[in-house]
Amino acid sequence: MSKKYVYTFGAGKAEGNATMKLLLGGGLNETTIEGIIKKSGNERFAWDAYRRFVQMYGDVVLNMKPESKEEEDPFEVIIDQVKEKNGITLDTELVPADLKELVALFKAEIKKRTGYEFPTEPWEQLWGSISAVFGSWNNPRALTYRKLNKIPPDWGTAVNVQAMVFGNMGDDCATGVAFTRDPATGENKFYGEYLVNAQGEDVVAGTRTPQPVNETTKSDPSHKTLEEIMPEAYKELEGIYKKLEEHYRDMQDIEFTIQKGRLWMLQTRSGKRTAAAAVRIAVEMVKEELLKKEEAIMSIDPEQLDQLLHPTFDPKADKNIITTGLPASPGAATGRIVFHADDAEEWAERGENTILVRIETSPEDIGGMNVAEGILTALGGMTSHAAVVARGMGTCCVAGCGELQVSYKNRTMTVNSKVYKEGDWISLDGSKGEVIEGKVPTIDPELSGDFGELMSWADEVRKLNIRTNADTPHDSSVARNFGAEGIGLCRTEHMFFEGDRIKAVREMILADDEAGRRKALDKLLPYQREDFYGIFKAMHDLPVTVRTLDPPLHEFLPHEEQNQEEMAKELGITAAEVKAKVDSLHEINPMLGHRGCRLGISYPEITEMQVRAIMESACRLTKEGVTVYPEIMIPLIGTKAELANQREVVVRVAEQVQKEMNIKVNYMVGTMIEIPRAALTADEVAEEAEFFSFGTNDLTQMTFGFSRDDAGKFLKEYYEEGILTEDPFQTLDQTGVGQLVKIAIEKGRKVKPDLKIGICGEHGGDPKSVGFCHRVGMNYVSCSPYRVPIARLAAAQEALHGEK
Amino acid sequence: MSKKYVYTFGAGKAEGNATMKLLLGGGLNETTIEGIIKKSGNERFAWDAYRRFVQMYGDVVLNMKPESKEEEDPFEVIIDQVKEKNGITLDTELVPADLKELVALFKAEIKKRTGYEFPTEPWEQLWGSISAVFGSWNNPRALTYRKLNKIPPDWGTAVNVQAMVFGNMGDDCATGVAFTRDPATGENKFYGEYLVNAQGEDVVAGTRTPQPVNETTKSDPSHKTLEEIMPEAYKELEGIYKKLEEHYRDMQDIEFTIQKGRLWMLQTRSGKRTAAAAVRIAVEMVKEELLKKEEAIMSIDPEQLDQLLHPTFDPKADKNIITTGLPASPGAATGRIVFHADDAEEWAERGENTILVRIETSPEDIGGMNVAEGILTALGGMTSHAAVVARGMGTCCVAGCGELQVSYKNRTMTVNSKVYKEGDWISLDGSKGEVIEGKVPTIDPELSGDFGELMSWADEVRKLNIRTNADTPHDSSVARNFGAEGIGLCRTEHMFFEGDRIKAVREMILADDEAGRRKALDKLLPYQREDFYGIFKAMHDLPVTVRTLDPPLHEFLPHEEQNQEEMAKELGITAAEVKAKVDSLHEINPMLGHRGCRLGISYPEITEMQVRAIMESACRLTKEGVTVYPEIMIPLIGTKAELANQREVVVRVAEQVQKEMNIKVNYMVGTMIEIPRAALTADEVAEEAEFFSFGTNDLTQMTFGFSRDDAGKFLKEYYEEGILTEDPFQTLDQTGVGQLVKIAIEKGRKVKPDLKIGICGEHGGDPKSVGFCHRVGMNYVSCSPYRVPIARLAAAQEALHGEK
What are the φ and ψ backbone dihedral angles of A489, each rounded to 5 degrees? -155, 110
| Interface A-B: count of C-beta contacts within 8 A | 167
Per-residue model confidence (pLDDT) at position B153: 77
Q: B137 and chain A: CB distance < 8 Å anywhere?
A: no
Lowest mean pLDDT among A204-208, B73-77, B521-525, B527-531: A204-208
Report angle CA A189, A192, A196 to the nearest 5 degrees.
145
Using a CB-CB distance cutoff of 8 angstroms, which residues of chain B are in contact with residue A711? 592-593
Neighbours of A484 (CB within 10 A): 30
Q: Which helix (H) or strand (E) holds B478?
A: helix B473-481
Partner B contacted by A740 (CB < 8 A) = yes
| Residue B20 reports pLDDT greater than 50 | no
* pLDDT > 90: percent of chain B: 58
Give me the pLDDT at residue A11, please: 41
Cα separation, A301 vs A290, in Å, equals: 19
Query: pLDDT for B390-423, tens place per residue?
Result: 876 768 899 888 889 999 989 999 998 899 999 9
The percent of residues above 90 in pLDDT, for chain A, comes to: 59
Q: Strand pairing partners for B162?
A: B8
Calculate the CA A593 to chain-centre distance.
32
Residues of A in contact with B717 (CB under 8 A): 601-602
The band of B1, judged by pLDDT with boundaries at 50, 70 and 90, is very low
Q: Which of B680, B716, B729, B737 to mutate to test the interface with A (most CBs of A within 10 A)?
A: B680
Residue A167 pairs in a beta bridge with none
Give the confidence band of B2 by pLDDT, cuts at 50, 70, 90.
very low
- pLDDT tens sequence across A313-351: 887 888 999 999 888 887 889 999 999 988 998 898 888
The answer to whether the beta carbons of residues A110 and A686 sit under 8 Å apart is: no
Buried b (16+ CB within 10 A) or exposed e, B744-779: bbebbbeebeebbbbbbbbbbbbbbbbbbbbebebb
At residue A418, what is the residue type?
K
Q: Judge contact between A226 and A203, C-beta under 8 A.
A: no
Q: Which of B150, B679, B383 lies closest to A677, judged by CA? A: B679
Using one digit for the tens of pLDDT, what is the confidence trace for B125-153?
888 888 888 887 877 767 766 766 677 77
Q: In what order do the strands lie in the sheet with B252-259?
A: B211-212, B191-196, B174-179, B252-259, B262-270
Residue A18 has pLDDT above 60, yes or no: no
Q: Which residue has the higher pLDDT, B416 or B670?
A: B670
Task: Please report residues of A whose CB lies closer than 8 A to that of B741.
Answer: none
pLDDT band per the 50, 70, 90 thresholds, residue A24: low
What does the buried/exposed string (b/e) look like for A150-177 if buried means 16 or more CB atoms within 10 Å of the residue's CB?
ebeeeeebebebbebbbbbbbeebbbbb
B594 with A713: Cβ contact below 8 A: yes
Task: Name the pLDDT band for A222 (thresholds 50, 70, 90).
Answer: confident
Tell me whether residues B705 and A638 touch, CB distance under 8 A: yes
Q: Which of A43-47, A88-92, A664-668, B569-573 has the highest mean pLDDT?
A: A664-668
pLDDT of residue B206: 55
How many Å apart are CA B380 and CA B688, to the nearest integer? 38
Average pLDDT over residues A367-382: 86
d(CA B255, CA B258): 10
Report the predicted TM-score, pTM, of the whole model to 2 decimal places.
0.79
Q: What's the pLDDT score for residue A6?
A: 54
Residue A324 CB coordination number (10 Å): 16
ipTM value > 0.85? no
Q: Check pLDDT > 70 for residue A374.
A: yes
- Comparing CB atoms, the residue among B676, B710, B714 nearest residue A703 is B676
Q: Which of B589, B595, B740 to mutate to test the interface with A (most CBs of A within 10 A)?
A: B589
| pLDDT given for residue A153 in this prediction | 77
Q: Is residue A14 over pLDDT 50?
A: no
- How many other CB atoms are found less than 10 A from the CB of residue A485? 21
Contact (CB<8Å) B592/A707: yes
pLDDT at A15: 29
- Which pLDDT belongs to residue A4? 39
Residue A13 pLDDT > 60, yes or no?
no
Identify the band that residue A16 occupies on the pLDDT scale cut at 50, 70 and 90.
very low
Contacts of B641 in chain A (CB under 8 A): 721-724
Residue A22 pLDDT more than 70?
A: no
pLDDT at B685: 98
Question: Per residue in B594-613, pLDDT tens?
Answer: 999 999 999 999 999 999 99
> What is the 8-class DSSP label of residue B92?
G
Kindly report which listed range (A478-482, A558-562, B216-220) carries the lowest average pLDDT score.
B216-220
Closest to B357 measured CA to CA, from B337, B372, B384, B373: B337
CB pair distance less than 8 Å for B736 and A677: yes
Residues 602-621 of B with CB under 8 A from A: 602
Backbone angles phi, psi at B295, to 5 degrees: -70, -35
Q: How far is B500 from chain A (nearest CA, A)?
A: 28
CA distance B276 to B252: 16
In this structure, of A537-546, B203-212, B689-698, the range with the lowest mean pLDDT score is B203-212
The verdict on whether B385 is a catalytic residue reads: yes
- Would you state the pLDDT for residue B19? 32
Lowest-confidence region among A770-784, B243-257, B392-406, B423-437: B392-406
Q: How confident is residue A595, by pLDDT bands cut at 50, 70 and 90?
A: very high
State the pLDDT at residue A790. Answer: 96
Q: How far is B707 from chain A (nearest CA, A)?
A: 5
Q: What angle do CA A787, A793, A796 make, to 5 degrees?
A: 140
Mutate to test the interface with B, among A583, A595, A597, A598 (most CBs of B within 10 A): A598
Of A541-550, B519-528, B571-580, least confident by mean pLDDT is: B571-580
Give chain A positions within 8 Å (CB) of B733. Answer: 677
**How far are the Cα atoms of A362, A409, A564 from residue A558, in angstroms, in the given order?**
10, 17, 6
Residues 6+ positions from B732 with CB-CB distance below 8 Å: B696, B700, B738, B741, B761, B763, B766, B768, B769, B772
Average pLDDT, chain A: 89
- Residue A374 belongs to what H/E stretch? strand A374-377
A13 with A19: CB under 8 angstroms? yes
- How much is the average pLDDT of A255-263? 93
**Backbone φ and ψ of B322, nearest 5°:** -95, -25
The torsion angle over the Cα atoms of residues A148, A153, A155 and A156, rounded to 10 degrees, is 110
Q: Does residue A666 belong to the interface with chain B, where contact is any CB pair within 8 Å?
A: no
CA distances, B25 to each of A7, A507, B8, B206, B677 (Å): 110, 55, 5, 21, 60
The residue type found at B4 is K
For residue B58, with 0-12 CB atoms within 10 Å meaning exposed, 13-18 middle and 19 or more buried, which class applies? buried
What number is the average pLDDT over the span B6-27? 45
* Residue A417 per-residue DSSP state: T
Positions of A marked active-site: 385, 760
